[in-house]
């Protein structure tokens, strides 16, 4: 029985081409495409963890300004990574994919209730939403794999420090998409 799930974080129009554009997001799209397509073929669950903000959310008002407002085009997954019918979409309202969302119960319900043991994280940003989602996964006992060439940040410095932190603090495995998909079996 499979025990992994791929979680794609915030690969939304606003983060890739819109209001909160990350120039470096472009370079991970094809790797993530390979990751989700291989996962689907091998029966590994694919989950999209997407910002879907109310305009009054703390993150919007106090930090980033308008981005990924629920129901807008900016809050949709980029066309290249469009979710398939069997994928799951879990909306979030701040950095962590687990914070006040149904992600944990979804993970526990998968694979006929056997649940997910290992989460594979890709998307944006290495040092923010990926990091906070990894933290919450760690607190809940999940093992963590980070798609090294499937996560990015605003700068190379942020990205590199982000990876280092994930490895050091959450004992995350830092693997390439190639290495990850080889282990899908």
Distance CA 171, CA 87 (A): 27
Q: Looking at 43-51, 79-87, 120-128, 160-168, which segment touches Zn ion (CB under 5 A)?
A: 43-51
In the complex, minimum distance from the CB of residue 67 to Zn ion, in angstroms, rounded to a whole number: 6
Q: Looking at 45-53, 119-127, 150-158, 177-185, which segment touches Zn ion (CB under 5 A)?
A: 45-53
In the complex, minimum distance from the CB of residue 93 to Zn ion, in angstroms, rounded to a whole number: 8
Is residue 50 a contact partner of residue 74, using CB atoms and an 8 Å limit?
A: no
**Pick from 147, 156, 155: nearest CA to 32:** 147
**Binds Zn ion (CB under 5 A): choice among 37, 59, 91, 179:** 59
Name the residue nearer to Zn ion (CB basis): 158 or 167: 158
Q: Does 51 bind Zn ion (CB under 5 A)?
A: yes
Name the residue nearer to Zn ion (CB basis): 51 or 104: 51
Interface residues with Zn ion (CB under 5 A) are: 51, 59
């Amino acid at each position: 029985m499979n025990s992994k799930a791929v979680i794609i974080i915030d690969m939304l129009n606003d983060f890739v081409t819109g209001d909160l554009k990350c120039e470096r997001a472009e370079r991970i799209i094809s790797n993530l495409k390979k990751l989700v397509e291989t996962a689907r073929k091998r029966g590994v669950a694919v989950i999209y963890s997407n910002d879907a903000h109310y305009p009054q959310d703390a993150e919007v008002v106090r930090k980033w300004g308008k981005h990924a407002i629920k129901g807008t085009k900016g809050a949709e997954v980029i066309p290249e990574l469009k979710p398939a019918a069997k994928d799951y979409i879990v909306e979030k309202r701040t950095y962590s994919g687990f914070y006040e969302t149904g992600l944990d119960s979804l993970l526990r319900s998968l694979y006929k209730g056997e649940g997910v043991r290992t989460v594979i994280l890709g998307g944006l940003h290495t040092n923010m939403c990926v990091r906070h989602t990894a933290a919450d996964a760690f607190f809940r006992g999940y093992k963590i794999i980070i798609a090294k060439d499937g996560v990015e940040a605003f700068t190379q410095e942020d990205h590199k420090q982000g990876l280092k932190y994930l490895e050091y603090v959450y004992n995350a495995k830092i693997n390439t998409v190639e290495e990850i998909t080889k282990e899908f079996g």
